[in-house]
Chain A
């Protein structure tokens, strides 16, 4: 046997192994990026830098919504050692079961990894976190991470301002800017102006060690981006007026909407009952939200924009204005108060327009609307009514009724202005005529409007024919308000026609026997109109719409008090107090105020 050849076997084995190693290195390092991605996961961490959210001021410059620090208790599982669970639970004021539950939930979550920080407890208020922070050094692997949440300085305007909460999957799907755990505006100004308030998140890439501790910036910070602060907003809200409105509306269900007619700026928007927006901040947000949601008085329901009611008598002024403009009537037109056609009340028989508004004469306005609907274009009264209705609906909508009013308040219920389509659906095409639908002529029937639209009507009349879409923010980061709030919308009704209506509204308040005597305000000429919205079988809603002063109006207002009866009794005096508070910044008759405060419609 020639043993010399055996060297080739040994050489062969060596060469084979080295080649195998080279192939293996090639697959590890070159052909597959699995391991390099793995390494990046292990060694790099991107940290989001949250910019401070924009602040919100009221129209006088008072800070309404500020930011406050809050702490998330973070946990880095890998670093947790020798945890004295019971003492830790006592420190956090949670039970052992809750501790186990949280841990189990975290372990199941998608982001779980022993070297990745996890949120153990969210949103601990600074005062609660201070004692925890002192002891935290005893519990390696746990640390606090500051975040900012909202702080509502005056505790007013909860639904108007809105709140912030963690994004849900839908938000993330809609806008990839958001990541789980981010905050987003939920309702009100926070939601409508989310894009301006949130600013721009920054990101910092760090190289970390195996314990997850940041060591140095990755690639000398080349991939980092700076956080851009959110823009501050100046709201149109007069916080004193808003607070006063909430004060007046305590123990009452309903709403107040006050608008500056010249600009469309919403001065106050009260929905009652309300709650302190600070309840929805921090750790208790979840439980408090549940309580509010289950409250039978629906405090989370913004009655000012979502509540829809029959407009009632107040609608007669809209009818009057359109009929005047359509030349169907003149201010001198008299119509007999024929109570066989439709019910009425009060001692009058044959009013002109002004009288009919003051007396709220139902047969008069039935007649007015008949003239508009029965246009005498077609012989067939059914066809004729359909043409008339379509035109009428268009004109009604130019007052903002039946529309969402291009406002910045999210969630407006547009109400209902029935037209041809609507009645065709109910009765069938050409199966209805004026006699079928006449109840809408006096603001009853299928008509539905919301309090914001009603206040806007006040602004339209105050402006004698135009309005700006009502809005809640007058300045975004020093750039002024949104473009769409800078151009007025016209009703195309001749300003002259408004004088009759305005004079009548003044008399409603000032004349002896006027329905809104309680709306009289010393030194201010208030023009208003009461409404009493039938609400069988529950008591009627008390409604009042007004603006003041008569010349150069500064405020238009709608007040709804649910189940409170006649419009003049509760809604009118509340409106009067609001007007006085806004214009004079003081109340001349404390007894009037006390009467309102003492009245409880619920406890």
Chain B
């Protein structure tokens, strides 16, 4: 460890600046979204904006505290942090408070803590620790299984709450793994699955009366299509691939064939049989499919109307009627971006998006300049989690992703979320400030 423990010299002030800008923008949005004429004072503790102000203060202290902890601490203690968060995730299922159908909160007085917000940080730390210490190269099956397990245990526990949105965020860890050597095929398979999944959903939803197989037979045609593609694949192998490689390639095509058939059928069955009706509706609405319940797309319709009415410059803070009179439900939490869209307009929305993009790219840049693999993996985890949140949340409110309850970092009202992201980022900033003193 080098001398000159003054971290101020090596700290990344740009990230802190963006972080601060996002938090302040977030607070303004919360103020506007929950404003009440009876309580205009910003420090009114009975109002979300008052509480959020308190949380911002707490976060500032936590950030300062975090920056003063040795980076080595996070490395060493990551298994313990991971373990304690896992225990908390189990506990919350047993003694947690049920809010909106999900058991994800510990109630402490008038404040509530959501352990899953900290699970992201803990999983990221432990994943970095594990990859770093065990020299994982993602070559062996055991390797992959171990890494998968580290992510899957907290994700599984969160799914039990249930909180599908946060589970989706855990998919973000794939970016970190990919960077550390996980086969790129995973991204290709992911992309192909996405397309196949969308096709299966749309074809399976019986929007058209298909011949021969009767009602709801669209999914069979998806199967036929996959078979046809496979046939083309075998033909291609015969014509284009060298004889000595044919056997191996044919096996790959065959595996893809079965994989695709099972996946497509699985998606169809999953949506039609396993998902709850409201989740099914949300997915149908995303793809513009018909839904029986006329109010099913109420949220998303209103969200789009609120954002769409913003125009170039928006209607001004506290001036948007959709925000002011709560046309969009949960508009100070999951749908907070509607307030930005309506009151800050296109310019404000893009400004916020660019703040996020800059922060994510800056974090990736920080990660890449680390000498320690631990710090790099962790940096990737932080950037990926942030990215997944932005992707799912904003994607949802602008109608590009299904409605999934997940907060927008720094904007959605809620202390746990803000504290979770603060810790996530400031641990990375602390690790980054020590980049010259670490030689591992």
Contact = CB atoms under 8 A, between A and B. Distances in A.
B22 to A, nearest CB: 14
A44 B312 CA distance: 20
B308 A36 contact: yes
Given A29-B311, A209-B325, A10 B349 contact: no
Contact of B322 (A4, A10, A32, A43): A43
A29 B364 contact: no
Contact of A11 (B306, B364, B390): B364
A18 interface: yes
Contact of B302 (A24, A26, A42, A208): A42
A341 interface: no
Scoring B301, B325, B349, B354 by chain A CB atoms within 10 A of each residue's CB, the highest score goes to: B325
A11 B305 CA distance: 31
B368 interface: yes
Interface stretch (B212-220, B253-261, B394-402): B394-402
Scoring B181, B309, B312, B322 by chain A CB atoms within 10 A of each residue's CB, the highest score goes to: B309
A28 B345 CA distance: 10
A478 interface: no
A39 B400 contact: no
B208 interface: no
B327 A29 contact: no
Interface string A183-211: 00000000000000000000000011110
Interface in B294-317: 301-302, 304-312
Given A21-B400, A210-B326, A29 B179 contact: no
Given A7-B368, A42-B322, A215-B325, A25 B309 contact: no
B184 A9 contact: yes
Interface of B is mostly: helix
B187 to A, nearest CB: 7
Scoring B181, B308, B364 by chain A CB atoms within 10 A of each residue's CB, the highest score goes to: B308
Contacts of B179: 3, 6-7, 10
B178 interface: yes
A38 B387 contact: no
Interface stretch (B157-165, B355-363, B417-425): B355-363
A26 B327 contact: no
Contacts of A14: 357, 360-361, 364, 383, 387
Contacts of A9: 178, 184, 187
A35 interface: yes
A17 B357 CA distance: 9
A24 B394 CA distance: 11
Interface residues of B, number: 49
A103 interface: no
B341 A25 contact: yes
B353 interface: yes
Nearest to A78: B295
A503 B398 CA distance: 94
A39 B342 CA distance: 10
Given A22-B353, A36-B309, A209-B326, A3 B181 contact: yes
B175 interface: yes
Contact of B312 (A3, A21, A29, A209): A29
B309 A40 contact: yes
A208 B325 contact: yes
A6 B398 CA distance: 29
A427 interface: no
B61 to A, nearest CB: 31
Range class of the A interface residue count: 35 or more
A28 B391 contact: no
Contacts of B180: 3
B158 to A, nearest CB: 23
A210 B398 contact: no
A11 B178 CA distance: 13
B33 to A, nearest CB: 14
Contacts, number: 124
Contacts of B384: 10
A168 interface: no
A14 B354 CA distance: 11
Contacts of B302: 42, 210
B350 interface: yes
A14 B359 CA distance: 11
B118 interface: no
B184 A7 contact: no
A44 B180 CA distance: 54
A297 interface: no
Contacts of B400: 20-21, 24
Nearest to A24: B398
A36 B311 contact: yes
Contact of B353 (A4, A13, A21): A21
A11 to B, nearest CB: 6
A583 interface: no
A69 interface: no
Given A22-B350, A25-B350, A30 B312 contact: yes
Contacts of A291: none
Interface in A295-346: none
Given A6-B178, A18-B357, A21-B353, A38 B308 contact: yes
Given A24-B398, A29-B346, A39 B308 contact: yes
Contact of B178 (A10, A15, A40): A10
A28 B384 CA distance: 27
Given A28-B304, A28-B398, A17 B391 contact: yes
Contacts of A223: none
B321 interface: yes
A14 B394 CA distance: 13
Contacts of B326: 209-210
Scoring A1, A10, A35 by chain B CB atoms within 10 A of each residue's CB, the highest score goes to: A10
Interface string A28-71: 11101011101110111000000000000000000000000000
Nearest to B312: A30
A11 B360 CA distance: 9
A13 B390 CA distance: 13
Nearest to B395: A21
Nearest to A207: B321
Given A15-B357, A20-B400, A26-B346, A43 B308 contact: no
Interface string B373-391: 0000000100110010011
Contacts of B391: 17
Given A14-B361, A43-B321, A28 B187 contact: no
A41 B364 CA distance: 44
Scoring B321, B357, B380 by chain A CB atoms within 10 A of each residue's CB, the highest score goes to: B321
Scoring A9, A21, A34, A40 by chain B CB atoms within 10 A of each residue's CB, the highest score goes to: A21
Contacts of B187: 9
B330 to A, nearest CB: 13
Interface in B118-154: none
B393 to A, nearest CB: 11
Contacts of B306: 39
A28 B387 CA distance: 22
Contacts of A22: 350, 353
A127 B119 CA distance: 67
Contacts of B361: 11, 14-15
Interface in B268-325: 301-302, 304-312, 321-322, 324-325
B356 A18 contact: yes
Given A29-B345, A215-B321, 19 more contacts: A1-B181, A3-B180, A14-B383, A14-B387, A15-B361, A21-B394, A25-B346, A25-B350, A25-B398, A29-B307, A34-B308, A36-B308, A36-B311, A38-B301, A38-B309, A39-B309, A42-B305, A42-B322, A210-B325
Closest 4 CB pairs of A and B: A35-B308, A39-B309, A209-B325, A43-B321
28 contacts: A3-B181, A9-B178, A9-B184, A10-B364, A17-B387, A21-B353, A21-B398, A22-B350, A25-B350, A28-B304, A28-B398, A29-B311, A29-B312, A30-B312, A30-B346, A32-B308, A35-B304, A36-B311, A38-B304, A39-B342, A40-B309, A42-B302, A42-B322, A42-B327, A43-B322, A209-B326, A210-B302, A210-B325
